[in-house]
Amino acid sequence: MAKGGGDIKQLRYRVMLALYLPILLYSFSTFDLKEETVLVKEVKPVLSGGQQTVILGQTYTANAYLKASKLSKGGKIKLSTDDEKVTVEGNEDISVATAKLLSEGQEKREVTYEAKIRYDRAKGGPTSEILEGSFTVRRPELVATSVATKSLYRRTKNQIRIDVPGLEGRPLQLKASGSGTVDGRQLTLSPSSDNVTVEAYLPSEGEDPVYLGKKEFAVIDPPRPKLEVLDAKGEKIANGESLPRARPVVQFKVEADAEFAKSYPDDAKYRVKKAKVSIRKGLKASQEIGTFELGSNSTLKGELIRGLNKVGAQPKDRLIIQLQNVVRINHAGQSIPVNLGDSSLSYSFILA
């Protein structure tokens, strides 16, 4: 019986050893490089946690470890580097600033770096191992947020926001072609050219800003407005219809595109500045009455009445009006010529 009891104890010991020895060995197989005193045999340096790709301006980070099969008290470990672009902190953390790693015109590159681990061996005294790592640094993609993300409207107040994924918490500087530098992520542009380029920079204290990338925009004219003609009662009259000889009042109402007016209310005001007026009596050639300023409400009234009286206009005579200088008034109060096409600028009415 005693012998049988010993066999059971031996079996229990082997089972416990099989279950817990792998766990104990694994728990001692890896440790980080803090300023602890250890003696190491059969070591292997390892880098972990490093990103494979880093956006220009981000900081690359990694951690250094020693994997060991045996360790005991008595030695020291130190992490250092001779690589100028590498920073070592606390015998464990490795970082690489990337802001200066791309040259002008370079979109991406692979970066390699080195760090050195020094430690005391159980036998043979101090030694060192080289850690080598690499990663790719690339320029970021600029993301534009505005009412029109692909195009800007000419001589219109376009408000743009530029974001750089990966650098959300960093300050930015923006510079558009033909304008100065603006701090932040928002920019207001009123371009007159056919295209605009916005460049983004990462400020660097005491040094030149780091160029991150650019975003290009086409510049287009606002949507063409609609033109309506109103009589003295404010009712629409079509080209070729009758106009009362007694009250020959004509107002030209220029309506902006609805979506454009909603998004750019300060740039969606229109007016007709001038109109050339002629009259044709029967089969005779047309006779010019004059060219008149229409005023802020784009209306022909007193000038037209006086002109018709001067030439002795009669019912059934044909009144011919050619609009000149149709403009859009933008946010800065500038008058910008609008091309409506010849067919939209000529009107004819029969005096009744």
Q: Kindly list the distances between the CA atom of residue 334 and the CA atoms of 12, 51, 121, 268, in Å, as whole numbers in the listed order.
A: 95, 52, 81, 12
* pLDDT (0 to 100) of residue 287: 93
Q: Which residues have C-beta within 8 Å of that of residue 34, sequence separation ≥ 6?
A: 90, 91, 92
Same domain, residue pair 147 and 134: no
Q: What is the pTM of this model?
A: 0.72
Rounded Cα gap, residues 191 and 320, in angstroms: 37
- In a 3-state reduction of DSSP, which class is residue 314? coil
Across the range 85-109, mean pLDDT stands at 89
Q: Is residue 1 part of a domain?
A: no
Same domain, residue pair 176 and 258: no
What are the φ/ψ torsions at residue 143 (nearest 5 degrees)? -110, 120
Rg (CA), the chain: 40
> Does the pLDDT value for residue 23 go beyond 60?
no
Site of tokens 């040094």: 207
Same domain, residue pair 196 and 234: no
CB atoms within 10 A of CB 97: 13
Q: Is residue 126 part of a domain?
A: yes
* pLDDT (0 to 100) of residue 223: 94
> Does the pLDDT value for residue 34 go beyond 50?
no
Rounded Cα gap, residues 65 and 68, in angstroms: 10
Are 114 and 86 within 8 A, CB to CB? yes
pLDDT band at 26 (very low <50, low <70, confident <90, very high): very low
Are 118 and 81 within 8 A, CB to CB? no
pLDDT band at 14 (very low <50, low <70, confident <90, very high): low
* Bigger pLDDT: 307 vs 35: 307
- How many distinct structural domains can be found in the chain? 3
Domain boundary among 166, 192, 220: 220
Across the range 240-267, mean pLDDT stands at 93
Closest by Cα among 122, 126, 118 to 66: 118
Same domain, residue pair 89 and 166: no
CATH number at residue 131: 2.60.40
- CA geometry: angle 117, 119, 123, nearest 5 deg: 140
Q: Kindly list the distances between the CA atom of residue 3 and the CA atoms of 6, 8, 12, 13, 148, in Å, as whole numbers in the listed order.
A: 5, 9, 15, 16, 90
Are 261 and 313 within 8 A, CB to CB? no
Rounded Cα gap, residues 312 and 281, in angstroms: 10
Reading across the β-sheet that carries 143-145, which strands appear in turn?
Answer: 143-145, 158-163, 186-189
Same domain, residue pair 114 and 174: no
- CA geometry: angle 161, 165, 166, nearest 5 deg: 135
Write the DSSP assignment of 57-71 as a string of letters: TBEEEEEEEEEEEEE
* pLDDT (0 to 100) of residue 74: 54
Q: Is residue 120 part of a domain?
A: yes
Same domain, residue pair 167 and 97: no
pLDDT band at 42 (very low <50, low <70, confident <90, very high): low
Domain boundary among 179, 205, 220: 220
Are 74 and 119 within 8 A, CB to CB? no
Rounded Cα gap, residues 336 and 352, in angstroms: 36
Q: Is residue 2 part of a domain?
A: no
Same domain, residue pair 81 and 123: yes
CATH number at residue 192: 2.60.40.1930
Q: Which residues have C-beta within 8 Å of that of residue 309, sequence separation ≥ 6?
A: none
Same domain, residue pair 338 and 240: yes
Same domain, residue pair 331 and 254: yes
Render pLDDT for 45-91 as a digit per residue (tens, 0 to 9): 677 777 899 999 999 999 886 655 434 455 567 888 899 999 998 77
Same domain, residue pair 234 and 343: yes
- In a 3-state reduction of DSSP, which class is residue 94? strand
Q: Give, for 5, the enclosing helix (H) or strand (E).
A: helix 2-27
Render pLDDT for 267-318 as a digit per residue (tens, 0 to 9): 999 999 999 999 999 888 889 999 999 988 899 888 888 999 999 999 999 9
Q: Is residue 10 part of a domain?
A: no
Same domain, residue pair 230 and 322: yes
Render pLDDT for 182-240 as a digit per residue (tens, 0 to 9): 999 999 999 999 999 999 999 988 888 999 999 999 999 999 999 999 999 999 999 99
Q: Is residue 13 part of a domain?
A: no
Q: Is residue 149 part of a domain?
A: yes
Q: For residue 304, give both structure tokens.
A: 């037209």
Render pLDDT for 288-299 as a digit per residue (tens, 0 to 9): 999 999 988 899
pLDDT band at 179 (very low <50, low <70, confident <90, very high): confident
- CA geometry: angle 288, 290, 295, nearest 5 deg: 145
Render pLDDT for 127-157 as a digit per residue (tens, 0 to 9): 788 888 999 999 999 998 876 557 899 999 9
* pLDDT (0 to 100) of residue 119: 72
Q: Is residue 6 part of a domain?
A: no
Domain boundary among 175, 191, 220: 220
* Bigger pLDDT: 122 vs 333: 333
Same domain, residue pair 106 and 175: no
What residue numbers bound the domain in which 309 lies? Answer: 226-351
